[in-house]
Structure 1
């Protein structure tokens, strides 16, 4: 029987002397660890271990966990305590559908509004992703490479409403992305899909780019939902 990983096995960074209140620092550290997949879906967040790792009080840890619970990143289970949230297959399906619509709009806006500099940044971000995706075991690097591509797309699209909505979904979307990219064979397929997307954008073909974008998300959804269904 495999032993559940403990919080103690996660290398928490030191909390520095910064302007933000300690509670906000702890919340930010835990949030980033979840988004980077250092703390994985379903993993228990034992208060005692967090207190020892972060060198803060029980009250501070509990306040941080409450905030992450509000954000949907942590679930509090009676008699068990806090765990990193795992989206249900139903919630995940809805998130993938919303994401497909919003990101298809984003690539259309990018083609219509982006500058030549944005197009150059997109190509550079994709080439960096090719390098990152060569190491399929480094989930953090894969996630950051995809984050960089989407950051360029959002900047070039210049749509505050779309950006605000996607930022509100970012944490849960990133958790799903990590789940999908953790499945065997998915990183290699994903980078091929991203290549087709970038090429369609560079061809200034909004309909083709939107179609490729939607297909990319649908394939990620199929992989991610399959993994979530097996776990549930």
Structure 2
């Protein structure tokens, strides 16, 4: 359980701060999939009332980040391989639209900002802190969503990326994924620098599909291991 006092919040507005910090704790995997989020634990952690916690939980449940089990309470949502497949299918289209819009409408300053984030990512190495890597990817998308100049795509993709956070952490657990990710991100950056809308579309879509391939392989392997363990325990 996270014990970082930086999670505590101050008023103005309390509920929004709790919502944002609880969301951040989930999407950075400080709370693991399947972890129980009891009212008492969250109240102690954030230093707020039970009513504030329950309102934040309701909002994050609507986003798909939290699953509330009757008579047991809220848990961090877990994505199955089947659900992950659907998430990646939608994300591939939205991300391609964002990349295409960025190539067409981003300012020169925003393109330079995207390049700068890529250079930071390219300087990392396998084994780097996962939270640092996730933070760099988050910054990359923040720039892209701002520069694509499509509020609907930005809003939907931002919510989907939050839901997809567990999967990004999963793919980064594969030691071969980071070098390939850097290559894929470079293709996106180079396409937008050329103002190549079709190239940006293809590069973004390919990046998502490659990530999907790795994540689904790992999820299926984990499911198979869990099934074998259950069978062994039943013998």
TM-score interval for Structure 1 and Structure 2 normalised by the shorter chain:
0.7 to 0.9
Q: 1:19 maps to what in 2?
A: 12
Aligned positions, number: 223
Q: Is the 8 A contact 2:38 2:73 kept in 1?
A: yes
Structure 1 vs Structure 2 CA RMSD: 2.3
Q: 1:4 maps to what in 2?
A: none
User: Structure 2 CA distance, aligned partners of 1:69 and 1:137?
Assistant: 31
> Which of 144, 152, 162 pairs up with 2:153?
162
Please give the per-residue CA displacement for 1:65-98, whole angstroms capped at 9, x wherever unaligned. 2332222111123564322111222221111111
Deviation at 1:12, TM superposition (A): 4.6
TM-score (norm 1): 0.84
Unaligned runs of 5+ residues in structure 2 are: 224-235
TM-score (norm 2): 0.83
Pick closer, same or farther for the CA change 1:160–1:70 going to 2, 3 Å: closer
Matched, 1:42 2:34: yes
> Which of 50, 62, 66 pairs up with 2:58?
66
Q: 1:129 maps to what in 2?
A: 121
Q: 1:180 maps to what in 2?
A: 171
Unaligned runs of 5+ residues in structure 1 are: 1-6
> Which of 150, 153, 178 pairs up with 2:141?
150
Pick closer, same or farther for the CA change 1:119–1:50 going to 2, 3 Å: closer
Could you tell which deviates more after superposition, 177-186 or 215-224? 177-186
